[in-house]
Structure 1
Amino acid sequence: MEKELLDHGLHINRRHFLSKMSIGLGSAALGSLLIPDLFGRRTGEGAAEAHLALPHFAPKAKRVIYLFQNGAPSQLESFDFKPRLRDMWGEELPESIRQGQRLTGMTASQDSFPMVGSIFDFQQYGQARAWISELFPHTAGIVDDICIIRSMHTESINHDPALTFFQTGAQQGNRPSMGSWLSYGLGSENSNLPAFTVLLSKGNGNGQGVYSKLWSNGFLPATHQGVQLSNGEDPVLFLSNPEGMRREERRKMLDDLAALNEHAFQKVGDPEIQTRVAQYEMAFRMQTAVPEATDLSREPDSVFELYGEDSRKPGTFAANCLLARKLSESGVRFVQLYHQGWDQHGNLPFEMAAQARDVDQASAALIKDLKQRGMLDETLVIWGGEFGRTNYSQGKLTQDNYGRDHHPRCFSIWMAGGGVRPGMVYGSTDDLGYNITSNPVHVHDFQATVLHQLGLDHEKLIYRHLGRKFRLTDVSGKVIRDILS
């Protein structure tokens, strides 16, 4: 028997046998990860069923559009009306309210903390009689379709860790983003498009940077990284064939490259080799699918009128909202928008008004558009930033001008569709808009709820890395069932 094995060149010992067997099992698992419909039936042209975790239970939503307002819009000028702050304009914030909260370096040296109410008017709208600022008239028009959460809170007091925490579940980098987790857990609805795409826009206000770590796959396989789309001629850079190369030539080159990579994989067993092949193949399919999915030229004038005139200008928030609808319609699982310019430490009344004009109509139009197409029930839309703003003024306070510093203790976001209860206001803050008084919602609670609506148990969607089981919500988080229909 030993001679027969040697004749075949199989010098097998216990370690070698287990090593080879693990590669074989790993290849089978990797195949189901890289080829979504390998072990599942196709549900339509280019569609594939969930392939890795599978839904843990029946999902309410199939996809997510996240309208992230980068820089942190003030809840006191948007969705959390505090008339008492107007009555106490310029008065010192009581220490009993602040309770020794740590401050940023921008206000730590201030001798006083004069409270300031919003100079913008608010009115009540909808069945829930929700207070909405005059800066958001279009959002007021869809208030019966959204759920406003006024009791969000986080630990982070500076932009980068707060933004990273919202997107990845951790304040430090090198963790998978929410979109990557969903790609890992559910895959794409269209095998010709990535499961996770990213769109960037910028307003006229003070902008905070966004970085690729926010849509990184982290320690997950690289196929789950977010794909950033640009507003140029090529939505994905370097996707098109080089000048002079025909599609048939590119196909042959990829086939030859795959053969070489397969040879390398058989020798070293590194799964990242197979991942790289899958990325090449996805890029080849995207050459046809992406231009079609991102082409807005066939949209009727009525749609551009709904989203606003800016929707005709590539790269604007309005154009990206319309593009997000098209991508979702085409089967992209998670569309992430970042709109920069919300960091109003000074000159807030002017800058925030401009930012609101950038986003208000298009945000509301997206909800209306999804609803009239029958997509809202299966699409979870999220609007909000990384933390809130202080009830006191940063720097000099005048009768018509002020700024607000970072405030992680309480802030507002809204959600719509995807099984979230519409026409609802959840949570509350005190009369001075500083502390939460009911139904607090932590960032991990928010993340757990988003995963839940897509049929995923946040405690079961895990990935083992460096000897530890990781998940988006780390070791905490609970589903906010009160806001679910």
Structure 2
Amino acid sequence: MNDYQLNHCQRRTFLADMGMGFTGLALGAMLQNESRAHEAAWAPPTGDPHFQPKAKSVIWLFMNGGVSQMESFDPKPMLSKYGGKTIAETPFADTQDPEKLALARVSAPDANGNQRNKLYPLQIGHKKHGESGIEISDWFPHIAKQADKLAVVRSMYTTDSNHGAQTQFHSGRHLNDGAFPTLGAWVHYGLGALNENLPQFISMGKREYWNKRDGHYLGPAHDAVPMRVDPKNPLDFSKPEVEFSRSAQEIGQDLIQQLNNQRQIEYPRDQAMAARIASYELAFRMQTSIPNIVDFSQESAATQERYGLNQPHCRDFGMQLLAARRLVEQGVRFIQIQHGGGGAGAWDAHGKLKANHTRNSLAVDQPIGALLQDLDQRGMLDETLVVFASEFGRTPGSQGSDGRDHHIYGFSVWMAGGGLKRGVVHGATDEIGFHAIENRHYVTDIHATILKQLGLDSRKLEIPGRKRLEIDHGHPIDEIIA
């Protein structure tokens, strides 16, 4: 603790003691001693990177429900060759592999003689793209045009086979473990602001109740600020019920600040109160800055068309991604965009996979391709890390007749920019997309890679009384780092 912080803490304790008598005096002493004890073993983040960063901001694109890896960024033509056969009837049955053996067993005929879990053919074609020759499904033609910007990781795995895996991907921990901070919260906790008039951690899109919060034990100050792409109402409670002049607002804000300061003196350790005060003050500053961000009239017609704002099927997602580019331009650190949130998630395709993925890819493909191109043309991609992820993949076998079940043993994530290599593929699944068999990565390896590019060492991001496990930290995927 520096001299200013120490004097500030002592002053708050003294003022609180004066207002609470001898009881307050004892409490103040206890709080001060506790603070000194913590300081002896731990120092809070300074807001500075731990080492030289390569990226300043992250745009985190999350596809809720589970994107099929075989029909997106890890095509498997063997599925079509052996489509309609059970895994036991193919060369890929492996009695030494417990998961494949289990699948072969449940592929046996049911009581009515019907075969189950037959391999399901690919529902869309695929091609090699760019100089890198990365194979991408025909459902993503606009992203495919940016193939030489991508670092595709085809060997991801996770452990939650239900949609709590959405939280697991964000936090690194299974829902049964409890509530843990998300990656965005750790970034917010570890790094200082690039723009004091904007929130440093923003969330767009619907989030299900199990994936609603970010800060958890770091405190509510590290939750993402939810934002809508609506110039008239982009943030909850960001505008008064009736119009006030700017000078009247400033007088009211000054009075509220004085009252808040008094409460902070009385309750210096109340994290929720501190978060509310900080959010109120930030909201006041954002009343002019945020509406400007989502005022797309400042963008050219060509840019708006590139993001698909003129097309109903991708307009909403396109607006979110154009807003994300504008937010990064203004210095926002972490922008978390959820596509298809609510319930299990829009990409959950137990049946009618072709219709499901056709509809969803149309909603996201053009805006994502535009974002990558736009960032690169503006010279921003090298300092902005774009992530495309989903909580898990989908099974090689069918579920019912025309869909795929949840699959945790091998799926794909790609990243672009932020000091990563361009046009590379890392890791691999087997011939039918069942298992990650080469350079396997748990979800926190993605976290570790992002933190490294932002100049953060996760082992220095801890708080007293909260020991983090090795799995929380993960390991950077150095093979895709430039």
Please say whether Structure 1 and Structure 2 have the same fold, judged by a TM-score greater than 0.5: yes
Identity of aligned residues (%): 37
**Local SS of the residue matching 1:321:** helix
1:176 to 161, 166, 181: 181
Check whether the contact 1:158–1:406 (CA below 8 A) recurs between aligned residues: yes
- The one-letter amino acid paired with 2:265 is Q
In structure 2, the CA distance between the partners of 1:410 and 1:245, relative to structure 1 (3 Å rule), is same
Q: Distance in 2 between matches of 1:245 and 1:13?
A: 40
Structure 2: tracts of 5 or more residues without a match: 1-16, 341-345
* RMSD after superposition: 3.1
Q: 1 CA distance for matches of 2:417 and 2:215?
A: 26
Maintained 8 Å contact 1:187/1:333: no
Q: Is 1:142 aligned to residue 153 of structure 2?
A: no
After TM superposition, the structure 1 stretch with the greater mean CA deviation from structure 2, 111-120 or 367-376, is: 111-120
SS of alignment partner, residue 331 of structure 1:
coil
- Report deviation, 1:25: 6.9
The two structures have a TM-score, normalised by structure 2, of 0.83
In structure 2, the CA distance between the partners of 1:265 and 1:17, relative to structure 1 (3 Å rule), is: closer
Do structure 1's residue 84 and structure 2's residue 78 form an aligned pair? Answer: yes
User: 1:480 corresponds to which residue?
Assistant: 477
What residue in structure 2 maps to residue 45 of structure 1? Answer: none
Q: Give the C-alpha shift of residue 107 in structure 1.
A: 10
Q: 1:373 aligns with which of 341, 358, 378?
A: 378
Distance 1:13 1:231 in 2: 47
Q: C-alpha distance in 1, partners of 2:325/2:268?
A: 40
| SS of residue matched to 1:338 | strand
Specify the code of the residue in structure 2 equivalent to 1:221.
G
Shift of 1:20: 5.5
Query: Retained in 1: the 8 A contact 2:156–2:441?
Result: yes
Letter of the structure 1 residue corresponding to residue 393 of structure 2: G
Q: In 1, distance between residues paired with 2:107 and 2:194?
A: 47
For residues 145 and 452 of structure 1, the distance between their equivalents in structure 2, rounded to whole angstroms, comes to 19
1:99 Cα offset (Å) = 2.1
Aligned to 2:162: 158
In 1, the alpha carbon distance for the partners of 2:31 and 2:98 equals 60
Cα distance in 2 for residues equivalent to 1:365 and 1:387: 25
* Cα distance in 2 between the residues matched to 1:199 and 1:169: 21
Structure 2 residue 328 is the aligned partner of structure 1 residue 323 = no
CA–CA distance in 1 between the matches of 2:87 and 2:322?
Answer: 43
Task: Give 1:74 deviation, angstroms.
Answer: 0.5
State the 1:260 CA deviation: 2.6
Distance 1:15 1:107 in 2: 69
Rounded Cα–Cα distance in structure 2 between residues aligned with 1:16 and 1:411:
53
Mapping for residues 41-80 of structure 1, pairs under 5 Å: 52-80=46-74
1:410-425 pair list within 5 angstroms? 410-425=410-425
**CA 1:475 to 1:330, structure 2 compared with 1: closer, same or farther past 3 Å?**
closer
How far does residue 355 in structure 1 lie from its aligned partner after superposition? 1.2
**Match of 2:239?**
240
After superposition, residues 331-350 of structure 1 pair within 5 angstroms as 331-340=331-340, 341-350=346-355
Distance 1:20 1:351, change over 3 A: closer
Deviates more, 1:217-226 or 1:326-335: 217-226
The alpha carbon displacement at 1:90 in A equals 0.9
Amino acid at match of 1:217: G
Distance in 1 of aligned mates of 2:294 and 2:366: 21
| 1:103-114 matches, cutoff 5 A | 112-114=116-118
- State which of 195, 198, 217 in structure 2 corresponds to 1:219: 217
Per-residue Cα deviation, 1:167-200 (whole angstroms, up to 9, x for no partner): 1222235322221111111132110000011111
Distance 2:212 2:195 in 1: 23
Secondary structure, in 3 states, of the residue corresponding to 2:87? coil
The amino acid that maps onto 2:274 is: Q
Mind listing any 5+ residue stretches in structure 1 that lack a counterpart?
Answer: 1-7, 34-50, 202-208, 397-401
Whole-angstrom CA distance in 2 between matches of 1:24 and 1:254 = 30
In the alignment, is the contact (CA less than 8 A) between 2:173 and 2:472 conserved in 1? no
Query: Does the CA contact (< 8 Å) of 1:185 and 1:461 recur in 2?
Result: yes
1:435 & 1:21 partners in 2: Cα distance? Answer: 54
Taking the TM superposition and a 5 Å limit, the aligned residue runs for 1:70-469 are 70-94=64-88, 96=94, 99-100=98-99, 112-159=116-163, 161-172=164-175, 174-200=179-205, 210-211=208-209, 213-232=211-230, 233-272=232-271, 273-310=273-310, 316-340=316-340, 341-396=346-401, 402-464=402-464, 467-469=465-467
Count of residues in Structure 1 that have an aligned counterpart in Structure 2: 441
Amino acid of the structure 2 residue aligned with 1:457? D
**Are the counterparts in 1 of residues 167 and 210 from structure 2 also a CA contact under 8 Å?**
no
TM-score by length of 1: 0.83
Per the alignment, do residues 295 and 25 of structure 1 end up closer, same or farther by CA in structure 2, a change over 3 Å counting? farther
Distance change (3 Å), C-alpha of 1:223 and 1:12: closer
- CA shift in 2, pair 1:250/1:222, >3 Å: farther
